[in-house]
Structure 1
Amino acid sequence: MTPLWTSDEAAATTGGRATRAFAATGVSIDTRSLGPGDLFVALTDQRDGHAFVAEALARGAAAALVSRRPEGLPEDAPLLLVPDVLEGLRALGRAARARTRARVVGVTGSVGKTSTKEMLRATLGGQGTVHAAEASYNNHWGVPLTLARMPADVDFAVVEIGMNHPGEIAPLSRLARPHLALITTVAAAHLEAFDSLSAIAEEKAAILEGLEPAGRAILPAGLEVSPVLAARAAALGVPAVTFGQTADADWRLADIQITPEATVARASHAGGTFLFKVLTPGRHFASNALATLAAAEALGLDLTIAACDLGLWTPPSGRGTRERIALDPVDEAGFDLIDDAFNANPASMAASLELLAAMAPTDGVGRIAAGRRIAILGDMLELGPTEAELHRAVADHPALAEIALVHCVGPRMRALHEALPRRQRGEWVETAAELVPRARLLVDAGDIVLVKGSKGIKVSLVVDALRKLGQSSPSRT
């Protein structure tokens, strides 16, 4: 395998000193997922990565990027010593970006970043080689890690860029230097750090500051803050196309049909109409898919091939994945599980509830005669001083009328629990772990169960408990 980083290259790039020669075929920050030949980066985040260097080397790491020699290592341990590990990782990312031939797409937005990144991976991958992070690596270490792992000879790279506070996106975009910037949407999220939706839009628009010369933008139309995005693009001289459901959108969604197995949409562009689909239900997926097709055209790809490849896409785990849990191995009676446990804000919560409402449970197969739509909803984090009202307002969403039972997880979700009609009010618990022992009592054969919440509230524990009730497999298609 061709080395991604030799010791000489890595030392020259970071200004560090290699204790011995090495050749790394990958880059890792986690010993649990580290592969033989990786360069282990000893970041200090929630824990100090220097404490795991010995384990990384024992697992086959080619070397470790460190700011000091950890105690107990042999004298000949392969290390790359740098003044600051995070700065060293940024330097590797900057150098990898400089040497690649790839056309780079930067993706940001309040909702749908990871799903859109994966749609782009599927779509671009049919017409070239693609590099993209395997997870939602979109922060101050995730973006440089994505870049540092990038081979020089790929055709495309997709870089997800996120934020929690003002001033975070522009430096990451300048590091990634995208040729194309895509903003999925702007919604109420991270309101702890921003005083208005317009302020969030300004921060999202900062991705345009890192564009390469002659770079282009794909922007959502029809939002309250769409003029903010358009104004920033105009001020920077960035050509932009828009997508959405409004008449003025360059790529316009004219019709969306949601079935239990897929989303089929009709759209118009440049005077013509076309159909496309994705193999999962959800109105929000149609919007992200349309933006993906706009990106494919901007990159000069064949749109027919792109639409066909897009039609095979399904969501990554925890982002709306639908699966079947068979409770009885004989007659395969079971329930459908929608795993959306890694992100939640008012916009994505609404989209997930609409998805659940559009799906049909199965009657007559469980202890309860009628199959039910059930939502297990965890706290939406980082919403700021209006968080209680934003949680309570979920009770007013029209899709909730189609949902039989809502269980609530977390202190913020208590506001929703108290606002629900008695017939829909399920359990309320402070933590997700409290629901785990009761998983079998929450569902029945024939049900469709949505689990949704911010990653920090850990409703993924409930997802795991529900999976363990039976045999998991992809839902029927």
Structure 2
Amino acid sequence: MNALTILRSWPAERRDALRMALWDSEALAQALGSSASGAFQVSGVEIDSRDVRSGDLFFALQGETMDGHRFLDKAFANGAAAAIVDRAVDYPHILVPDTHAALKHLAAAARDRCAARRIGVTGSVGKTGVKEAIFAALDRSSRGHTHRSVRSYNNHVGVPLSLARMPVRSHYGVFEMGMNHAGEIAGLTAQVQPHVAVITTIAPAHIENLGSIEAIADAKAEIFGGLVEGGIAVIPADIPQYTQLRAAALACGVTIRSFGKSAHADVRLLDAIPSANGGSLVTADLGDQRVCFTVAEPGEHWVSNALAVMAAVQAVGGDLGSAGLALAEMGGLKGRGARHRIAAHSGKALMIDESYNANPASMRATLRALGQTPATRRVVVLGAMKELGDFAPRFHAQLAQPLAEANVDYAVLVGEEMKALAQDLGKGAGGALAAGMSFAHCESPAEAISALEEFGITSGDAILVKGSNSVGLGRLVEHFTARI
């Protein structure tokens, strides 16, 4: 059978009869309770005029310091087909009283018109990577009909924007939800109304605002409150907060699917063996079947992430074989594990880009993975971990032991908060210095670049760059990767 015959015999679906355009003026007007200035169709939704592409719908959002209406000319110069505005303009538009409220109305309309199974993902660590892995798994089996939030669009603007972009033909939608304070996840999950809610893990991220790890778990557990009837909560079985999360899910009347090493886990790790590419060969028990698959991403934390992915795919009735193939092919995301071969003296070195985010749990996980990475020397550039409040000195100083266990040869510490770790390493009697590690403490990425240049990168080095995004270590990564 040739390819043309196969394509002609591909089974038709009811979704195939749905319109191709993302939105037209009639559907937009109905969703927003208004009228359009004329007939038009749009292929995308955007809130930043710099990101507008031909055919997009531009939302002129008004914030405390910025008014999107000032950028209408730029948006239409970039190809916008229409705009949502709160004042009359000369461009194709729909006039609404409040553009922020209109974005939420459009998000709800996108959700309600589409038969897609929706998955919400949150957690202190790994939510973007898990969201991307679930998307890759489901997109493969749905013939490209899976939608997800891009980048880290996980807040009060990013989530409704991601929903508004969901095509009516989608089979699945995967949405990331983040928070800094209690109550924020509740608002986001109410918008998404997921069929499956995934919590990756609980760790002391944003503890400055929430005060305790238990409060963080409660805030993340708000995601269960938005689950539709018959919804499924996917939770980690191996963390101390498992009982707390389980109780919160049961209180919402939803089904629970746990994942991890624990004997009580519904998706249980049976074995994980390091694979030749630096990842892991995983065998897991999913209750009614066992699966064996490869995880391309290195580190024990990605084994746990993979179990969460399998649990979510199983919960929405997705194809587990496709999920395994997707996990085997996943590469690191920019700022979240991307690996680069960079120029070094007498050859090439490996630079691992984890510059987008950092908290105590993710720091330990990535340092552990670095320690398992073959290298002639192991080097780290660690930026400050933000939003730890009064806990910051203790959590930063506690990184000395993971550094020692990873056999790090040289550490560049960036930011005021890293002073506590520098002081601990500088005592000279600790295990880290006894193992021969040296370090430099810098105030800025520019200083860190100079320190790394002075140290000298040689062939076979493995260099981990990790810190909170606000530290700006992405500039250091760009500096060195430009020399490939």
Query: TM-score scaled to structure 1, two decimals?
Result: 0.90
Percent identity reads 42
Is the helix fraction higher in 1 or 2? 2
Residue matched to 1:34 = 52
1:224 aligned onto 2:243: no
Q: How does 1:423-438 map to 2 (within 5 A)?
A: 423-436=436-449
Q: How does 1:168-179 map to 2 (within 5 A)?
A: 168-179=184-195
Residues 245 and 57 of structure 1, relative CA distance in 2, 3 Å threshold: same
Q: CA deviation at 1:14?
A: 2.1
Deviation per CA, 1:199-252, whole angstroms, max 9, x where unpaired? 111111111111111111111112111111100111111110110112221112
Residue matched to 1:263 = 280
2:33 to 12, 15, 20: 15
- Larger displacement relative to structure 2 (78-87 or 24-33): 78-87
> Do the aligned residues in 2 keep the contact of 1:357 with 1:399 (CA within 8 Å)?
no
Letter in 1 for 2:337: G
1:62 to 81, 101, 118: 81
Aligned length in residues: 453
> Do the aligned residues in 2 keep the contact of 1:374 with 1:450 (CA within 8 Å)?
yes
For 1:467 and 1:438, locate their aligned partners in 2 and report how far apart those are by CA, in whole Å: 16
> Do the aligned residues in 2 keep the contact of 1:417 with 1:425 (CA within 8 Å)?
no
> Do the aligned residues in 2 keep the contact of 1:192 with 1:385 (CA within 8 Å)?
yes
> Do the aligned residues in 2 keep the contact of 1:354 with 1:399 (CA within 8 Å)?
no
Residues 435 and 397 of structure 1, relative CA distance in 2, 3 Å threshold: closer
Deviation per CA, 1:393-437, whole angstroms, max 9, x where unpaired? 111226545111111111111211221255434222222233345
Residue matched to 2:43 = 25
What secondary structure does 2:465 align onto?
Answer: strand
Q: CA deviation at 1:271?
A: 6.8
Letter in 2 for 1:284: H
Letter in 1 for 2:166: M
Residues 6 and 272 of structure 1, relative CA distance in 2, 3 Å threshold: closer
> Do the aligned residues in 1 keep the contact of 2:397 with 2:420 (CA within 8 Å)?
yes
Q: How does 1:122-271 map to 2 (within 5 A)?
A: 122-128=136-142, 129-259=145-275, 261-270=278-287
Residues 8 and 437 of structure 1, relative CA distance in 2, 3 Å threshold: farther
2:109 to 87, 92, 95: 95
What secondary structure does 1:193 align onto?
Answer: helix
> Do the aligned residues in 2 keep the contact of 1:16 with 1:83 (CA within 8 Å)?
no
Q: CA deviation at 1:17?
A: 4.8
1:379 aligned onto 2:398: no
1:394 to 391, 396, 399: 399
Aligned CA-pair RMSD: 2.0
For 1:380 and 1:196, locate their aligned partners in 2 and report how far apart those are by CA, in whole Å: 16
2:321 to 298, 301, 304: 304
Residues 17 and 325 of structure 1, relative CA distance in 2, 3 Å threshold: same
For 1:153 and 1:272, locate their aligned partners in 2 and report how far apart those are by CA, in whole Å: 31
Deviation per CA, 1:146-189, whole angstroms, max 9, x where unpaired? 10000011111101111111100111111101111111111111
Give 5+ residue unaligned stretches, structure 1: 70-74, 362-370, 472-477
Residues 337 and 64 of structure 1, relative CA distance in 2, 3 Å threshold: same
1:457 aligned onto 2:471: yes
Runs (4+) off by over 6 Å = none
> Do the aligned residues in 2 keep the contact of 1:258 with 1:358 (CA within 8 Å)?
no
> Do the aligned residues in 1 keep the contact of 2:370 with 2:406 (CA within 8 Å)?
no
Deviation per CA, 1:22-78, whole angstroms, max 9, x where unpaired? 321100122332210101122345643222221011111012222335xxxxx6322
2:91 to 77, 81, 94: 77
What secondary structure does 2:329 align onto?
Answer: coil
What secondary structure does 2:168 align onto?
Answer: coil
> Do the aligned residues in 1 keep the contact of 2:148 with 2:173 (CA within 8 Å)?
yes
1:279 aligned onto 2:296: yes
